[in-house]
Chain A
């Protein structure tokens, strides 16, 4: 799975701990002050199980409730295409998509200095 931002976002690498804070809505702005909007697939989708485990530390049900209570910060999309479209057209948006859905319209963010194709990447496998 790849973490993506809009192409204007200057953040190219995030520590895993910071990414967890972003997805748990503890960190709400980027270093340049731009507000963070999170966009994800439905937490019940198969692709999202790894994300729930690694970034939210929650079960499906817990994640569902958490997202319901943070509607302003977390958007849910029905496909990777929709995630990419939203992220590419929204300054400050961050999303998670399957590696093979990537397009040139978004930036891939490294986690702890690693890209999704590298050994030891946080969101590898599912």
Chain B
């Protein structure tokens, strides 16, 4: 398991600010500003200061970071952060970390507000981190980037700064940059960073490098469960399902309470096509472990997806509705909206799909216990699904009106998720109008979504770009992400690919492989 929550709301890539080396070229030489002063050396070796009246609170935050990063024990980490803010209610950085780390939406909102309000109590460097976070949340991307780089330039070897930056880059799919920042940091004694970098390589589908780092991570923490759990997840991403199961079981043997591995087993069986066994494993997990709200929702949703994978849409409706009802009763508006949106995505009939999207928007309007940025992102996702429904019905007026709204949201937000929602929707609309060249330019901006990848492969094929079609088809066929989009797109794609009698348009692409 990798931590992707902390700082995940930030939409930026890192810069590499260690000003090293000299630029030597055919036209000119430019010294890149190697820092040589003693002040710079001191800064480069410094750690981000933590400001608190309580030494114990500072110790707890340090320990919370270690437990959260190296062992990925998020709940334990949260307990320590809660203790820290109790000991020192003015500890701004502790509030920020708790806001980003919490698995409780209400706590996320409350702690975030406290961090911003209390930043005056913090050191300049801590204020910079908090403002970086705030700018990113407010979609002030350029300002956020410069602040992040400012922090990184001041503390290029601080483990927690490197963690925050690389984690952020990972969530923004800037894997190569994350690896570059890590390598420049010179940090070699952080198991948690090994874990994160292993995931970066896996996301780039460079599995040999990922497995090398996983071997090191397991060797560094042989008595902990998360290294085995991470190894399992990366094996699953690579399609080695049976080996993944072995590693998940190894994690549970080390720590029977490491519930992520129990649900990892379930996810893996689901991807392998054994939905009955998958549901058994999910239910075992729900019975054995009390879960934080957001983890409960995450795996309930995965369990609901098993019905989609076996084509039982009534079963899926029942399971998803139960999640939505539960979210409503707990005043988790964004979760409720997201659940209705997902239900709309798999409806074969546009009418119920639109009714579900209306319910999603009603939940969104309530906006309870949800970060504003998350609500905006959800609204964009809902609009995207509305466009896809309108494409199905050929309602050009609706498509146009929805795309205008999404374009405006995207233009004003500087939010990658909102942008990709716009590009995915615009690409789907243009594809339906047979405007393949234009569709491609949008679909290429949403390459992590199987729905867009499928259209992209087809669009490449339509314009005669066979190499692109082949590469995209291969990427799609090898996606092993336990998401709804994967469940909707990849299994039928593979089925058609493997069936010589299949003559669908997807097959037309696949046959070119």
Q: Which residues of A contact B (CB under 8 A)?
A: 2, 39, 42, 64, 67-68, 70-71, 74-83, 85-86, 89, 98-104, 108, 115-120, 125
Contacts and interface: CB of A to CB of B under 8 A. Distances in A.
A103 B146 contact: yes
Q: List the 4 shortest-distance A-B pairs measured between CB atoms, nearest first.
A: A100-B13, A82-B32, A85-B33, A101-B15
Contacts of B125: none
Nearest to B415: A117
Given A103-B146, A117-B141, A78 B25 contact: yes
B410 A85 contact: no
A117 B23 contact: no
A80 B16 contact: yes
B27 A79 contact: no
B14 interface: yes
18 contacts: A2-B142, A42-B25, A68-B27, A76-B30, A79-B23, A79-B32, A80-B16, A81-B19, A82-B19, A85-B33, A86-B23, A99-B142, A100-B174, A103-B146, A103-B150, A108-B142, A119-B410, A119-B411
Contact of A79 (B21, B141, B407): B21
A55 B21 CA distance: 28
A94 to B, nearest CB: 14
A75 B27 contact: yes
A118 B142 contact: no
B15 A115 contact: no
Contact of B23 (A78, A104, A120): A78
Contact of A102 (B142, B174, B444): B142
A78 B24 contact: yes
B28 A75 contact: yes
Nearest to A103: B149
A101 to B, nearest CB: 4
B357 to A, nearest CB: 24
Contacts of A115: 142
Interface in B125-155: 141-142, 145-147, 149-150, 153
Contacts of A2: 142
Interface in B1-54: 12-28, 30-33
A101 B145 CA distance: 8
Contacts, number: 110
A68 B25 CA distance: 10
B104 interface: no
Interface residues of B, number: 38
Contacts of A81: 15-20, 32-33
A125 B441 CA distance: 10
Contact of B445 (A68, A77, A99, A125): A125
Interface in B154-178: 174, 177
Contacts of B177: 100
Contacts of B444: 125
B414 interface: yes
A44 B149 CA distance: 26
A76 B27 CA distance: 6
Contact of B26 (A67, A80, A120): A67
Contacts of A89: 33
Nearest to B25: A76
Nearest to A118: B411
A64 B27 CA distance: 10
A83 B16 CA distance: 12
A101 B142 CA distance: 10
Nearest to B410: A119
Contacts of B149: 101-104
Contact of B146 (A67, A75, A104, A119): A104
A114 B170 CA distance: 27
Contacts of A77: 23, 25, 30, 32
Contacts of B33: 81-82, 85, 89
Nearest to A80: B15
B153 to A, nearest CB: 7
Given A74-B28, A125-B445, 20 more contacts: A64-B26, A70-B27, A74-B27, A77-B23, A77-B25, A78-B21, A78-B24, A81-B18, A81-B19, A82-B22, A86-B32, A89-B33, A98-B15, A101-B16, A102-B15, A103-B17, A103-B146, A104-B150, A118-B411, A120-B411
Contacts of A68: 26-27
